[in-house]
Amino acid sequence: MLPRWSYSLLFLAMAFALTTDATVQGQAGGKILATIRSIDPKDGKETSLDYEIKKESPAGIEVVTSTGLKTIPPNLILQVNYRNLPGVTIDQLNKLSIDEENDPGKAAKAYNALAAKASDRTKRFLEFRGAMAALKAVDQKTSTEFDNDADAVATQLAEIAQRYSTSWEVWPAYREAARLRLELGQFPAAAKLQGQLAAVSGLPPELRRDARFSEAAALLRAGKPKDAQAIVDTLRAETDFPRTGRHQQMATLISIAAKAPEPQQADGKPVKPAATIKALEEAIAQATDPEAKSLGYSLLGDLYLAHGFPRDAMWSYLWVDLVYPEGKDERLLAVRRLTTVFETLGEKERAEQFREKISQLR
C-alpha cells in the first residue's frame, strides 16, 4: 500500500525549477506538463520530476523521459501538479498548496469553489485535490471528531473515483475511501468499495488482485467468511494467478481464517479455536512477504478478539504495529483495535497512547 499523502512547502517553491529527465519544461501548446511526486520502485525513495504527460488511465500516467515512454503506476504516485491548466493561474495553485499545509479544510473549500467554475482536466484536478485536502483535514482530527466527519469524506472520495474512473485518480480515491470505512468499522462498505475498484477497466492485474484481497479481508471482518473464500477461489482459478509470493500467501491466510468456527463457550468460559490458531500461526511462519505476515497477524488478532481472548489479541496486533508495519491499512486497523483491547483490559493509559498514535499513522 502507499504512504499517506503529504504536502511540502519547499516542494512548492521548487516545483518549477527542478532538474528532471523530462524532454520539455514550462508551458507548451497542446502539451500536458506536470511535476509528479512518486515512489521509485527500485529503491523506495521519493522523487519529484517534471514530465510531459502522454496519457492518463487507471494503469497510471504515461510520461516522456530521455529514454522513451514509461508509465508511473497509480499506487506509486504521491502527488501531481499540472503546470499549464486552463482557467487557473500558478499563483492561485501556489496559494492553495500553502493552505493545504496550514489549513487543509480551508483549502478543500477553495478547491471545490474553483472546481465549480472549471471544466475538463482542470475540473478533475481541482475536485481530486479538494477531496484529498478534505482527507488530510479529517485525518488530523481526534478519534471522536474523526468518526463524526470521516463518513462525508469517504463519500466524497468514492464519488470522485466513480466520476473519474478512466484516470489514475481512481486508485487513490477508492483506496482512501475504503480505508476510512475500515477505520469507522463499516466493513461491508469497505468491501464494496474495494470490489468496485477491482472492477475498474484497465487496472493493472497486480493492483486488481490487491483490491480483491482487501475486499476479502473486509468481508471476513464483516462476518461473511463464505464470500471472502469465494473471492480467494476465484483468484486462484485465474491462469495468471501467481503460485508463490505475496498474493499466494495472502490467499492461504484468508482461507484459513474463513474456516474458523463460531465462538463457543464451555462452563461459561470462552474456548480457543485451537486448530485455526495453529494453522494461522504456521501459515504466518511460512510466509516470506512482510505484507502477508502483517495481514496474518491482524487476522489472528481478529480471531482471538472474536472468541473472547483480548490479551492474546493484543499480542497479535502488537506484532502488526511493531514488527510487520508494511501492511499500512492493517497496521492502522490493528492500532485502532489496540485502543479497544486496552480499554477492555482496564489499561486506560495504554489505550490513550495508542489512540494518540492513530493520527500519526494516517
pLDDT for position 46: 95
Give the DSSP per-residue string, 26-94: S--TT-EEEEEEEE-TTT--EEEEEEEEEEEETTEEEEEETTEEEEE-GGGEEEEEESS-TT--HHHHH
The set of cell numbers assigned to 342 is: 486496552
pLDDT for position 91: 87
pLDDT tens digits along 253-299: 999 999 999 999 999 899 999 999 999 999 999 999 999 999 999 99
Residue 89: enclosing H or E segment and its boundaries?
Answer: none
Task: Return the minimum-mean-pLDDT range out of 23-27, 133-137, 184-188, 229-233.
Answer: 23-27
Q: How far apart are CA 93 and CA 98, in angstroms?
A: 9
pLDDT band at residue 333 using 50, 70 and 90 as cut-offs: very high
Rg (CA), the chain: 22
pLDDT tens digits along 68-124: 999 999 999 999 999 888 998 888 888 888 888 899 999 999 999 999 999 999 999
Mean pLDDT confidence for 26-36: 73
pLDDT band at residue 29 using 50, 70 and 90 as cut-offs: low
Is the pLDDT at 329 greater than 50, yes or no?
A: yes
Q: How many helices (DSSP H) and strands (DSSP E) are in the chain?
A: 15, 7
The set of cell numbers assigned to 168 is: 489514475
pLDDT for position 5: 45
Beta-bridged to residue 134, according to DSSP, are none
Q: How far apart are CA 70 and CA 79, in angstroms?
A: 17
Residue recorded with cell 511493531: 322
Q: How far apart are CA 133 and CA 112, in angstroms?
A: 10
AA letter at 62: E
Burial of 90 (0-12, 13-18, 19+ CB in 10 A): middle
Is the pLDDT at 359 greater than 60, yes or no?
A: yes
pLDDT for position 1: 46
Check if the beta carbon of residue 150 is closer than 8 Å to that of residue 180.
yes
Domains detected in the chain = 1-84 (2.30.30), 260-362 (1.25.40.10)
pLDDT band at residue 22 using 50, 70 and 90 as cut-offs: very low
pLDDT for position 89: 87
Task: Return the minimum-mean-pLDDT range out of 2-6, 194-198, 205-209, 315-319.
Answer: 2-6
Positive or negative torsion for Cα 82, 84, 85, 89: positive
Q: How far apart are CA 58 and CA 203, in angstroms?
A: 5
- In this structure, what DSSP letter does residue 266 have? E
Mean pLDDT confidence for 20-40: 66
Check if the beta carbon of residue 5 is closer than 8 Å to that of residue 132.
yes
Q: Which of 360, 358, 1 has its CA nearest to residue 183?
A: 358
pLDDT tens digits along 53-66: 999 999 999 999 99
Q: How far apart are CA 138 and CA 13, in angstroms?
A: 26
pLDDT tens digits along 344-353: 999 999 999 9
Higher pLDDT, 89 or 201: 201
pLDDT for position 18: 35
The set of cell numbers assigned to 308 is: 473472547
Is the pLDDT at 19 greater than 80, yes or no?
A: no
Is the pLDDT at 7 greater than 50, yes or no?
A: no
pLDDT tens digits along 130-152: 999 999 999 999 878 898 899 99
Residue recorded with cell 468514492: 158
Q: How far apart are CA 336 and CA 333, in angstroms?
A: 5
Q: Which of 92, 82, 89, 11 has its CA nearest to residue 46?
A: 11
CA 252 centroid distance within chain: 22
% of residues, the chain, pLDDT over 70? 92
pLDDT for position 76: 97
